[in-house]
A and B are shown apart, each in its own frame.
Chain A
């Protein structure tokens, strides 16, 4: 950074001083180069989308700007001045705020208390002036057009409401530059809409927004310009006029993407492997019935909160309040015990691999063997050699990239972690495998491998339930698709008759709801 032949940031903003300029920003986490020599600028008052595959470094770049991560190299300029942020507080002082994906608040404090956190109005120097605090909070939310009771406890808000509060809190501290980190990833359609409305109002008041996302329709709809990151490197910036979904995806992947390969027609499915009849769990889902044949992949689509994962968990015996019948190969399960489900040949690759799928403090080998401990032992004593042998051969078969089977799973990438979770179930003799969001947060290569694996397992005669929020994934892999809405099965679509729009409509429960694929600006 001693010599600076051209100012790349000034170049990309068309001459005027950019609001934010990244100059050769680099950041490394342990073994991963998250950002590598990233340079570009963000114009004042624009909504600038930051897109890229999972792991491309877009969130990291946002966090560098918000002072959460310190870059290893490069300079960050805000309003033309070089900034070194040591903490999010420093960034806040420079007028930069961040809206996080997950809870960034004290859940047991009220909305007002969280909004004014650290800047409470006082009475007599040390007493909290509750009335003034609530008044200020109400005023702030009012200005932003957010309708919420400020006395409500944060814990009771939905994720969407919480993000509105986060945004308000950032604006309330005087932020003129806001970073949104995948805000809609766990929001419903309606919640996303109210967030977009709020962003629209912020844009009018001249706030610069950086919108980190991988959802193309939203990106195309909201942003003035779109910057693409690929494997931690800057891949270019497009204006909205020149951007198309295809172009962005090509830049993200670095090549024209071969879309999900349409699976060749599955061989005629065999006899019914698993039958679920009238399965209900109070407050979660009701009267769910379906059957899966041997060799069949049945997709399950639905919006977040529709109860898909809950159904899978109940089938697996993890929901003690579930009522209904689950049959495997004609054998009726008593229910309420995961051990019983496993003995009957059911496997579940859970939704959240870090929270439910893996014990992060353990090695690949130990995670792998968790569900086959009974098979690996004699008189309660483990056979370490056999464990290592099996772990090695299965992890190798799934081409898990790890220095050794003793490597802690925590240090693997998302895709490889997911492969470990898959591998552990493959070690059992399964009849039914339920995979819940198998490719969430997984890179393109691992994704293709996982799809191939699921397909191969079906060919071997397993009955597979594929739960996924990625419609193309569901559409390309499954022979039938169940759509869940509000805890019920809203419809079943055959592979031939399904397309994304039809599924979206069933999922949202609207006759002619616009599909999310429409890139039109509101």
Chain B
């Protein structure tokens, strides 16, 4: 073995930090789309008068935070969990039901606690119960997928129905807290729906509730750390990329799979907790149909349903895109093209989001293809120069 290092290929060491490399992150395309949608909506939205001030109907904090960021936060948290499952080559469609079960479970426990109880008592329960429920549900999913060697779509389709059914049976009142009970303020008004008052010059001020957003950011960071910086995360990519090769590399394939569903369940549990705390209540329909939006967010965010590809940040940005579109339809009410006016009502939301999902994924695949061709050209030009002689082959 002579020292024919790969360094010599392009004459410079491989590890030199290429400047601005971070700009070419996989989520770059999503950011561009988000900026585009944002700009478009800002220009299209009519100015309105709020509290005596003329502001843009779309681009103002008291639209963006309560109508986009907050409802997006639990979607994004679940999308991070589902993205982990999808990266591992699986799918979890039971997250909506887990979300509902966790929300109801925590509400059921918390309504027994006095309204004015100390946060030291309330918070461990408020955080612990929904997370525990999520983890348990995820564990059931994981064990079924691994133990019965069944396709995760089938398993989670079954548990989607079972978990929802459990919620319906155990909450005959359909909604919690029931009767006169309310949830402890230490969890709701003083935590999840805690308000910040932004003074806006004079008497007017904006009330914002930033906590769900903060929880979301924490979850995205946790998801990023898990996927990019832990052994387990790397194992998930390997599993989703090629299960057979993962087995031949001695990875504990079964455990990795169980872990993935547990994480997804846990994320749904956290999301349920955020929703309960924010609204101060939960009902048996909470989270119904969320699984589709969540999977859509993951896929728009770049997760590949064949496994091996996807990021936590992408999941969040995917959720953001979907919520932006929903909000845009709500705000615009009509699109004025100059020569024609397209009326928009809430009913159009589903169609437009459906189109957006397909377009987003198509564009993503296209850019992936182009990037692949570019990489191949690069490999060629580098290997052609010295490759042949390196092998010691006569021309």
Residue in contact with B230 in the complex, picked from A371, A380, A402, CB distance below 8 Å: A380
Using A381-B229, A399-B5 as known contacts, list a sample of 5 further A-B pairs with CB atoms less than 8 Å apart, ordered by residue number in A: A338-B249, A370-B234, A374-B231, A396-B6, A445-B393
Instruction: Tell me the complex Cα distance, A392–B9, Å.
Output: 13
- Count residues of chain A with CB under 8 A from any CB of chain B: 62
Q: B378 at interface (Cβ–Cβ under 8 A)?
A: yes
Residues of B within 8 A of A408 (CB): 375
Minimum distance in angstroms from B16 CB to a CB of chain A = 10
Q: B114 at interface (Cβ–Cβ under 8 A)?
A: no
Minimum distance in angstroms from A383 CB to a CB of chain B = 9
Q: A72 at interface (Cβ–Cβ under 8 A)?
A: no
Residues of B within 8 A of A348 (CB): 248
Residue in contact with A342 in the complex, picked from B235, B250, B394, CB distance below 8 Å: B250
- Contact between chains at A370 and B251 (CB < 8 Å): yes
Instruction: Tell me the complex Cα distance, A357–B249, Å.
Output: 8
- Contact between chains at B376 and A30 (CB < 8 Å): yes
Q: B36 at interface (Cβ–Cβ under 8 A)?
A: no
Residue in contact with A403 in the complex, picked from B230, B249, B378, CB distance below 8 Å: B378
Given contacts A355-B242, A356-B245, A366-B237, A401 and B6 within 8 Å (CB-CB): yes
Residues of A within 8 A of B343 (CB): none
Nearest chain A residue, comparing its CB with the CB of B243: A359
Instruction: Tell me the complex Cα distance, A338–B10, Å.
Output: 38
Residues of B within 8 A of A374 (CB): 231
**Closest 6 interchain pairs by CB?**
A30-B376, A31-B380, A445-B391, A396-B5, A359-B241, A338-B250
A residues in contact (CB < 8 Å) with B = 29-33, 254-255, 316-318, 338-339, 341-342, 348, 350, 355-362, 366, 369-371, 373-374, 376-377, 380-382, 384, 388, 392, 395-408, 411, 424, 443-446, 449, 452-453, 456
- Contact between chains at B1 and A456 (CB < 8 Å): yes
Residues of A within 8 A of B7 (CB): 392, 396
Residues of A within 8 A of B378 (CB): 31, 403
- Contact between chains at A30 and B6 (CB < 8 Å): no
Nearest chain B residue, comparing its CB with the CB of A342: B250
Residue in contact with A411 in the complex, picked from B4, B252, B379, B392, CB distance below 8 Å: B379
Given contacts A362-B241, A411-B379, A318 and B248 within 8 Å (CB-CB): yes
- Contact between chains at B1 and A399 (CB < 8 Å): yes
Nearest chain A residue, comparing its CB with the CB of B231: A373
Residues of A within 8 A of B9 (CB): 401-403
Mind listing 12 A-B residue pairs with CB under 8 Å? A31-B377, A31-B379, A255-B394, A356-B244, A356-B247, A369-B234, A370-B249, A377-B231, A396-B5, A407-B375, A411-B375, A411-B376
Minimum distance in angstroms from B305 CB to a CB of chain A = 13
Instruction: Tell me the complex Cα distance, A359–B232, Å.
Output: 16
Residues of B within 8 A of A401 (CB): 6, 9, 383, 387, 390
- Contact between chains at B252 and A339 (CB < 8 Å): yes
B residues in contact (CB < 8 Å) with A = 1-7, 9-10, 14-15, 225, 229-232, 234-235, 237-238, 240-242, 244-252, 308-309, 372-373, 375-380, 382-383, 387, 390-394
Residue in contact with A382 in the complex, picked from B14, B231, B249, B250, CB distance below 8 Å: B231
Which residue of A371, A396, A445 has the most chain B CB atoms within 10 A of its CB atom?
A396
Instruction: Tell me the complex Cα distance, A400–B1, Å.
Output: 12
Minimum distance in angstroms from A144 CB to a CB of chain B = 36
Instruction: Tell me the complex Cα distance, A111–B247, Å.
Output: 34
Given contacts A350-B248, A396-B3, A373 and B308 within 8 Å (CB-CB): no
Instruction: Tell me the complex Cα distance, A350–B245, Å.
Output: 9
Given contacts A366-B237, A396-B7, A361 and B309 within 8 Å (CB-CB): yes
Residues of A within 8 A of B5 (CB): 396-397, 399
Residue in contact with B390 in the complex, picked from A317, A358, A398, A399, CB distance below 8 Å: A399
- Contact between chains at B6 and A400 (CB < 8 Å): yes
Minimum distance in angstroms from A503 CB to a CB of chain B = 27
Residues of B within 8 A of A402 (CB): 6, 9, 379
Minimum distance in angstroms from A346 CB to a CB of chain B = 9
Instruction: Tell me the complex Cα distance, A397–B251, Å.
Output: 26
Nearest chain B residue, comparing its CB with the CB of A343: B250
Residues of A within 8 A of B377 (CB): 30-31
- Contact between chains at A407 and B379 (CB < 8 Å): yes
Given contacts A31-B376, A361-B241, A401-B383, A392 and B248 within 8 Å (CB-CB): no
Residues of A within 8 A of B392 (CB): 445
Residues of A within 8 A of B237 (CB): 359, 361-362, 366
Residue in contact with A31 in the complex, picked from B230, B242, B383, B393, CB distance below 8 Å: B383
Residue in contact with A361 in the complex, picked from B225, B249, B308, CB distance below 8 Å: B308
Given contacts A359-B241, A400-B6, A30 and B373 within 8 Å (CB-CB): yes
Instruction: Tell me the complex Cα distance, A446–B4, Å.
Output: 13
Residues of A within 8 A of B387 (CB): 401
Which residue of A33, A366, A373, A398 has the most chain B CB atoms within 10 A of its CB atom?
A373
Instruction: Tell me the complex Cα distance, A449–B244, Å.
Output: 27
- Contact between chains at B247 and A382 (CB < 8 Å): no
Residues of B within 8 A of A453 (CB): 1
Minimum distance in angstroms from A351 CB to a CB of chain B = 10
Residues of B within 8 A of A255 (CB): 394
Minimum distance in angstroms from A29 CB to a CB of chain B = 8
Minimum distance in angstroms from B311 CB to a CB of chain A = 14
Instruction: Tell me the complex Cα distance, A408–B234, Å.
Output: 15
- Contact between chains at B14 and A361 (CB < 8 Å): no
